[in-house]
């Protein structure tokens, strides 16, 4: 099985590299990169391992414009979205999207049980709005499953500023404001059965209402503050039979889904990426070209491989343990993702 998956990934890599570096369909940024580098990736990249030749993708490349340098020529004339990540201070990183967010969330939809996320039922999205991909993505997920999506107004950059300035009373007031919006919608629309929410906001919402009694049957939860302790608390104190789908996602990757719940995992949060569209690896922080052994801790390294976006060997601001394949997902995963310990002094998570 491993050799078959490796061969399929290598083939996908060749297709994506051919697309992004072709003069007809290629991405202006990468065409210019290849010109400066003096070699043709279409001829020399034959496998996933060969992507090491690109070095490490720099997030500064995504800050500022012109953002059209990231739009492949093959998509000329198509409507383009731009989604941001970061930006609480300085210029945010931008990623263009055309169909990727829809594809990612349709793939995720296939993992959701219909009895808990009923087709035709409505959704409530309690997460960041504004320039982030998440609101449109969850809305598309609801539409894809035949529902309508209600949402709250939430600016996480403002929350982070309040925390950095130690205005914790204002931060708590803002969190109450968000939760009040969610409560109002839940009480006004009894068709809502499905909920997207971040871990911190789920904790705050569960203090105010029984989600089971409010009619919720499935919770899709995403955010960096997802710990085994939180996972256990949710399952023992909050769910009351509600299906819980934790995820690890961001604008640059898409969506990594959780391993089916097994008490033997001791409530560890274990994610698997949407191969071959994205690959997550755990690498040695001091030698990030080296993948660590299973069970070892390291920095998360992301490679994104879609026709809209090619991003090889990006070092995330997260760390995790390397997780072996499982029966449902026959490729490597990551366990207990959390902010990279060497950055913790500078990372503020806010409402995530």
- pLDDT per residue over 271-294, tens digit each? 999 999 999 999 999 999 999 999
Mean pLDDT, the chain, integer: 93
Q: What is the CATH number of the domain that holds 310?
A: 3.40.50.12780
**What one-character DSSP code corresponds to residue 201?**
H
Overall domain count for the chain: 1
Residue whose token pair is 């202006």: 28
For 7, residues 6+ apart whose C-beta sits below 8 A from its C-beta are: none
**What one-character DSSP code corresponds to residue 74?**
G
Identify the domain containing residue 217 by its residue range.
Answer: 2-346
What CA dihedral angle connects 183, 211, 85 and 72, to 10 degrees? -110
| Alpha carbon distances (Å) from 236 to 3, 199, 241, 269, 335 | 40, 15, 10, 15, 21
- pLDDT per residue over 196-233, tens digit each? 999 999 999 999 999 999 999 999 998 766 889 999 99
Instruction: Please give the Cα distance from 308 to 72 (Å, whole number).
Output: 7
Instruction: Please give the Cα distance from 175 to 158 (Å, whole number).
Output: 11
**What one-character DSSP code corresponds to residue 63?**
B
Any domain includes 29:
yes
- pLDDT per residue over 66-106, tens digit each? 999 999 999 999 999 999 887 656 788 999 999 999 999 99
- pLDDT per residue over 44-71, tens digit each? 999 999 999 999 999 999 998 899 999 9
Any domain includes 351:
no
pLDDT on residue 45: 98
DSSP characters over 327-347: SS--S-EEEEEEE-GGGGGG-
pLDDT on residue 2: 67
Any domain includes 352:
no
Residue 287 pairs in a beta bridge with 284
Any domain includes 246:
yes
Model confidence, pTM: 0.92
- pLDDT per residue over 9-32, tens digit each? 999 999 999 999 999 999 999 999
Residue whose token pair is 């969190």: 175
């Amino acid at each position: 099985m491993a050799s078959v998956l490796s061969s399929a990934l290598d083939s996908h890599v060749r297709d994506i590299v051919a697309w992004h570096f072709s003069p007809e369909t290629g991405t202006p940024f990468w065409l210019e990169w290849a010109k400066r580098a003096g070699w043709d990736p279409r001829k020399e990249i034959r496998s996933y391992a060969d992507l090491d030749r690109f070095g490490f993708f720099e997030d500064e490349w995504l800050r500022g414009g012109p953002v059209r340098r990231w739009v492949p020529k093959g998509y000329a004339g198509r409507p383009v979205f731009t989604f941001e990540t970061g930006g609480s201070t300085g210029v945010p990183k931008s990623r263009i999207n055309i169909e990727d967010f829809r594809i990612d969330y349709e793939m995720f939809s296939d993992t959701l049980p219909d009895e808990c996320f009923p087709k035709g039922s409505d959704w409530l999205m309690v997460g960041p709005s504004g320039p982030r991909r998440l609101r449109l993505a969850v809305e598309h997920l609801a539409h894809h499953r035949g529902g309508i999506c209600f949402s709250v107004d939430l600016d996480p950059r403002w929350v982070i500023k309040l925390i950095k300035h130690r205005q914790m009373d204002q931060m708590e007031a803002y969190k109450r404001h968000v939760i009040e919006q969610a409560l109002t919608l839940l009480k006004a629309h009894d068709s809502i059965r499905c909920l997207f929410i971040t871990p911190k906001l789920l904790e705050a919402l569960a203090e105010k209402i029984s989600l089971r009694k409010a009619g919720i049957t499935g919770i899709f939860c995403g955010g960096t503050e997802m710990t085994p302790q939180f996972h256990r608390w949710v399952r023992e104190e909050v769910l009351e039979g509600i299906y819980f789908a934790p995820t690890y996602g961001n604008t640059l990757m898409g969506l990594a889904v959780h391993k089916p719940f097994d008490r033997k995992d001791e409530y560890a949060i274990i994610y698997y990426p949407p191969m071959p569209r994205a690959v997550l690896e755990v690498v040695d922080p001091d030698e990030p070209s080296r993948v660590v052994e299973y069970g070892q801790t390291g920095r998360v390294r992301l490679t994104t491989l879609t026709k809209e976006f090619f991003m090889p060997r990006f070092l995330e601001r997260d760390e995790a343990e390397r997780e072996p394949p499982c029966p449902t997902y026959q490729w490597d995963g990551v366990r207990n993702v959390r902010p990279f310990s060497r950055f913790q002094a500078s990372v503020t998570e806010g409402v995530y």
